[in-house]
Copies of this chain bind each other. A is one copy, B any other.
Amino acid sequence: MTERNVISLDKIKVACRDCSLSALCLPMGLRPEDVDRLDAIVKRNRPLQRGDNLFRAGEPFRHLFVVKTGAVKTFTQTNDGDEQVVGFHLPGEVLGLDAIQDGLHGCSARALETTAICELPFERLEDLSSNIPSLQHQMFRLLSKEISHDAEMMALLGRSTAEERVASFLISLSERFKRRGFSATDFFLSMSRQEIGSYLGLALETVSRLFTRFQDDKILKVERKHVQIIDMERLRAMVTHQTDAERHRANPST
């Protein structure tokens, strides 16, 4: 199960022991020789604390952000005041891609826990990518990946039952943790039931009930925010909607 989007991951890991750069390399899949040039433009910020905003909807867009450690949620406000979570961003993942189009952030981003972030000045990234074809290519891939992820999410929200949504959510987290070298079956949820519910289009009570039901069914072990996946097979079996792309990725021989 190698990460398709990463070119010679081992070399990169060696080339940039600084975790901020490996956080960059992972999503971008850069070649080592390109990393040095990227390195020059990366800003490193002090960590955000839980509740700190990284940016707010409507603010001008200057930087792409890469999560180094911690977790971030992105959300919009509804007219009647409360917030709607549109994404969770784990280490190695990129934020701000929706803001390129018109130079304004379309959603707000807030740290869910103590979080370290890399800033990439977008203008300079654009300049660089004109000169480094592989960087341009990776930028296109990055944006495209976000689009297919969103399409999967839309498909999930469009049809599924609560059970299926929560199962999908856990599987998605599991795969994302695995990809970054964390445990795929034993992890902490840095977001509240409320936030999970908002993201999945469910009431927080429904999320809670499903967690306990999954626990009763010996599929999970849940203790507050600590989740262990006991029976991944049955969790996967709950998800009816697997895109052809996913099928292909799971079994590339087909």
Q: Could you mark each residue 56-90 of chain A with 1 if its beta carbon is under 8 Å from any beta carbon of chain B, else 0?
A: 01100000000000000000111110001111000
Assembly stoichiometry (copies): 2
With the chains together, A184 CA to B180 CA distance in Å? 47
Contact between B100 and A155, CB atoms less than 8 A apart: no
Overall SS of chain A's interface: helix
Q: Is A192 an interface residue (CB 8 A)?
A: no
Q: Is A244 an interface residue (CB 8 A)?
A: yes
List, in ascending order, chain B residues with CB within 8 A of A80's CB: 240
List, in ascending order, chain B residues with CB within 8 A of A145's CB: 101
With the chains together, A57 CA to B200 CA distance in Å? 25
List, in ascending order, chain B residues with CB within 8 A of A140's CB: 100, 126, 139, 143
Contact between B102 and A201, CB atoms less than 8 A apart: no
Contact between A106 and B245, CB atoms less than 8 A apart: yes
Contact between B76 and A159, CB atoms less than 8 A apart: no
Contact between B159 and A84, CB atoms less than 8 A apart: yes
With the chains together, A138 CA to B154 CA distance in Å? 25
Closest-CB distance, A122 to chain B (whole angstroms): 9
Q: Which residue of B lies closest to A106 (CB)?
A: B245
Contact between B154 and A106, CB atoms less than 8 A apart: no
List, in ascending order, chain B residues with CB within 8 A of A151's CB: 76, 86-87, 98, 106-107, 150
List, in ascending order, chain B residues with CB within 8 A of A212's CB: none
List, in ascending order, chain B residues with CB within 8 A of A85's CB: 158
Q: Is A157 an interface residue (CB 8 A)?
A: yes
Closest-CB distance, A248 to chain B (whole angstroms): 6
List, in ascending order, chain B residues with CB within 8 A of A249's CB: 102
Q: Is A35 an interface residue (CB 8 A)?
A: no
Name A158's contact: one of B129, B137, B198, B242 (CB within 8 Å).
Answer: B198
27 contacts between A and B (CB under 8 A): A5-B101, A76-B151, A76-B155, A76-B243, A76-B244, A79-B239, A84-B241, A87-B151, A97-B147, A98-B144, A98-B147, A101-B145, A101-B147, A102-B141, A106-B148, A106-B244, A106-B245, A107-B244, A129-B136, A130-B136, A143-B143, A146-B147, A150-B153, A154-B157, A158-B199, A158-B200, A159-B201
6 additional contacts, CB 8 Å, given A98-B148, A150-B150?
A: A57-B245, A84-B158, A98-B144, A100-B143, A102-B249, A107-B151
